[in-house]
Structure 1
Amino acid sequence: MVTTVSEKLHLPMVRLNLAKPFLDAALAAGADVEKELRVHCLTVDSFGDNEHFVTAPTMYDVVESLAELTCDPYCGVTLGEALDPLNWSPLAEAARNASSVGDLLLRFSIDAYKDANSVEFKLETRGVRSTFTENRLTDGGRIPRHNDGFGAAYVLSILRTALGSNWSGNEVLVQVCDPGIFPLSYADIKVATTDTNGFSVSFPSAWLLLEPQLRATGKAASPPVTRNSAPEDTLPTLRYILEQHIHEPGLDAEHVAHLCGISKRTLVRRLAELDTSLKQELDQLRRDQAQCMLANGSNSIAHIGDRLGYSDPTVFTRAFKRWTGVTPREFRDANQRDSTQR
């Protein structure tokens, strides 16, 4: 069952390279990551593109599958505790400028939205206890075990390094969707079960005043980079998602809703409110890409159709004629004649 914070259509997007620690771990384990990534229409090179976003459900799937490839049952926790905040974009700016643990967590909560509009972070203080919480806008029907472990572990790492030899794990309560992602007696903390809407770490409020002691990894801190925020407007975001999956046959409302982490009913209703439909959006995207490929390349019509999700060239030809009034071959021939006459 897909759980969401709001029934309003919000297409939750995440910067893909946030999952690079999991990719690197899977590669180090000698796993065939390309095969796994192809399932999600991704490649290893996709992680090098700082502006490549995926839907939150896709991110959860990618992280969980890469974690499984490492054969480490505690992969998320292992990577989270080893994370270098100065070289991981959501934490980097906060780590460079924070004067206290509380300052770091607050800065991170504010800045993280640039990398993911799929979650909200909250630091709440009630007397002597404080809680840092991740709140997912949707779980996409997934159980993001290693996502929880990774997030909780890097918060714990910040606290543990700040306290040093004064660490007192029995004063910490961590809540995740699956406590089994933590090794038994991990750092002497208490681990409890919560839902799939995000992890939380509860600890003494006095720890917020401590100076963060960020580990030196021997690797120079990454210089500040300009990061475009995750796309938010409904139609541009949907079009971005469809473009990543346009080659897939059977790209119907059920599948697109699954990719977006929302219900089919919500997707259909919200698009109707925007005076469009999934069919209109797919037709427009396929028509634009087909015309571009026919005008600017030498690929066969069958190949172009296949890249747009049509395994049968005849079906692609009929669709193209419905969109434009001419067949793909007629369009290409006319375009070539125009180019010759110029």
Structure 2
Amino acid sequence: MNVSTKTGTPHIPLIRANVLKGFVTFLEEIGSPTQHLLVNAKLPPSALHKTESLLPFKQVIEFYAKAAYEAGCEYFGLLVGQRTQIADLGAYGRLLCQSLTLHDAINKGIHMIPTYTSGEWYWLEEQGERVWLCRNFVHGLDAGLQHADHFSVMLSINLIRMAAGQQWRPTEVHFKTQHAPGLKSFEPLANAKIHFEQPATAIVFPRSLLSLPLQNKGNHQDIQRYKDYELLHSSAPATSFSGSIRQVIAPLLREQQTDIQVAAELAGMSVRTFQRQLHDLDLTYSRLLDQVRFEQSLRLLLDPDIKLVNIASELGYTDAANFTRAFKRWTGLSPTEFRHLRWKM
């Protein structure tokens, strides 16, 4: 297996919030305090409702670990992965489910993964009659990944089972993380030769499966497919520090968690390093907040059905008057005047 590496990337790795769905459902079923765990991992509770929003990958992994501890489950990622369907992954999952064959689904998944996450990537290797579906993380996300590692293996198995049937099992599995002796007790891995502490995560399957049609393809209409593609590409995780920090800050606005200490922690930096990074971009933190609020306000004002009071709340303002004053400072127009001008264009 050739190991692909990506190092030195300056962006903050992000992932879509719908990756939490299965974990949250499991926690709710056993009565664990989901909201408390999210707050402890510095994730906005609103992510449970805004499932296509972007979250810092490191905080998502931290949530997995805290949730596993709360549930008292060493193999939490595997259990949740067993229960998670590809369609649960929002627009990305729906598009994969509409693929013609397993080969089509895997290639589509590899091509589109940058629209879903900037923290990991997939690739396919063919070695004679065996195929490796491989996955790795960007540099700096190697620690504390057991549950994410296990979860991703189960998602790969579930994708292949959409073509090969629910009884299919891999013959060989490579985990990036450390030895876990109890994995053989999980039905999907019962027949697999398992290797730990590998340079990448991978599952092995016969090449002949690639041509099999997907058995439970989605039946979404063309208009829904277009909307899903548009959503993913228009809101894809940024691959620059400037773009990704804006995407990190946006969901913090509605939670009114805009303190620079919070933003720096989510960026994985000290406050001083964070300020130095902003200085290199000719920015201060207050100026960055203004830019993010302005960009979000333009997007929200284009929807005539969203009330100004709701826009103000989304941007972290305590009342609509504060938002109006800020918007006039940015544009010279009130939000209402701006909308009227847009509607006339």
Report the counterpart of residue 335 of structure 1 in structure 2. Answer: none
Report the counterpart of residue 285 of structure 1 in structure 2. Answer: 289
Contact persistence 1:14–1:230 (CA under 8 A) = no
* Higher-Rg member (1/2): 1
What one-letter code is carried by the residue in structure 2 that aligns with 1:194?
Answer: E
Report the counterpart of residue 321 of structure 2 in structure 1. Answer: 296
1:36 and 1:261 map into 2 onto residues whose CA distance is 19
Contact persistence 2:99–2:217 (CA under 8 A) = no
1:188 and 1:149 map into 2 onto residues whose CA distance is 16
Report the counterpart of residue 95 of structure 1 in structure 2. Answer: 97
Contact persistence 2:86–2:94 (CA under 8 A) = yes
Report the counterpart of residue 175 of structure 2 in structure 1. Answer: 175
Give the 3-state SS of the residue equivalent to 1:183 in structure 2.
helix
Report the counterpart of residue 236 of structure 2 in structure 1. Answer: 230
What one-letter code is carried by the residue in structure 2 that aligns with 1:177?
Answer: T
1:76 and 1:52 map into 2 onto residues whose CA distance is 21
1:189 equivalent in alignment to 2:192: yes
Q: Deviations over 1:17-55 (max 9, x none)?
A: 221110111111100111111224445442211342111
Sequence identity (%): 18
CA gap of 1:288–1:88, structure 2 versus 1, over 3 A, is closer
CA gap of 1:156–1:249, structure 2 versus 1, over 3 A, is closer
1:140 and 1:189 map into 2 onto residues whose CA distance is 26
Give the 3-state SS of the residue equivalent to 1:6 in structure 2.
coil
Contact persistence 1:162–1:212 (CA under 8 A) = yes
Q: Write the mapping of 1:125-274 to structure 2, written as runs, cut at 5 A.
A: 125-140=126-141, 142-160=143-161, 162-164=163-165, 167=168, 169=170, 171-180=171-180, 183-185=183-185, 186-194=189-197, 199-214=201-216, 224=225, 225-226=227-228, 227-228=231-232, 229-232=235-238, 233-242=240-249, 244=251, 251-252=260-261, 258-261=265-268, 271-274=278-281
Give the 3-state SS of the residue equivalent to 2:183 in structure 1.
coil
2:116 and 2:138 map into 1 onto residues whose CA distance is 14
What one-letter code is carried by the residue in structure 1 that aligns with 2:192?
Answer: I
Please give the TM-score of this superposition, normalised by the length of structure 1.
0.68
Q: CA deviation at 1:82?
A: 2.6
Instruction: Judge which range, 229-238 or 286-295, deviates more.
Output: 286-295
CA gap of 1:281–1:48, structure 2 versus 1, over 3 A, is same
Q: Deviations over 1:230-269 (max 9, x none)?
A: 34143242134245558669845xx755523479998667
Contact persistence 1:162–1:213 (CA under 8 A) = yes
Q: CA deviation at 1:138?
A: 3.6
Give the 3-state SS of the residue equivalent to 1:59 in structure 2.
helix
Give the 3-state SS of the residue equivalent to 2:62 in structure 1.
helix
Give the 3-state SS of the residue equivalent to 2:109 in structure 1.
helix
Give the 3-state SS of the residue equivalent to 2:125 in structure 1.
strand
Q: CA deviation at 1:193?
A: 1.5
Instruction: Judge which range, 138-147 or 19-28, deviates more.
Output: 138-147
Contact persistence 2:22–2:83 (CA under 8 A) = no
1:235 and 1:165 map into 2 onto residues whose CA distance is 43
Q: Which runs of 5+ in 2 are unaligned?
A: 294-314, 323-345
Report the counterpart of residue 62 of structure 2 in structure 1. Answer: 61
Contact persistence 2:41–2:60 (CA under 8 A) = no
Give the 3-state SS of the residue equivalent to 2:107 in structure 1.
helix
What one-letter code is carried by the residue in structure 2 that aligns with 1:116?
Answer: T
Give the 3-state SS of the residue equivalent to 1:68 in structure 2.
helix
Please give the TM-score of this superposition, normalised by the length of structure 2.
0.67
1:291 and 1:210 map into 2 onto residues whose CA distance is 49
Q: Which runs of 5+ in 1 are unaligned?
A: 298-342
1:265 and 1:64 map into 2 onto residues whose CA distance is 28
CA gap of 1:34–1:293, structure 2 versus 1, over 3 A, is closer
Contact persistence 1:149–1:182 (CA under 8 A) = no
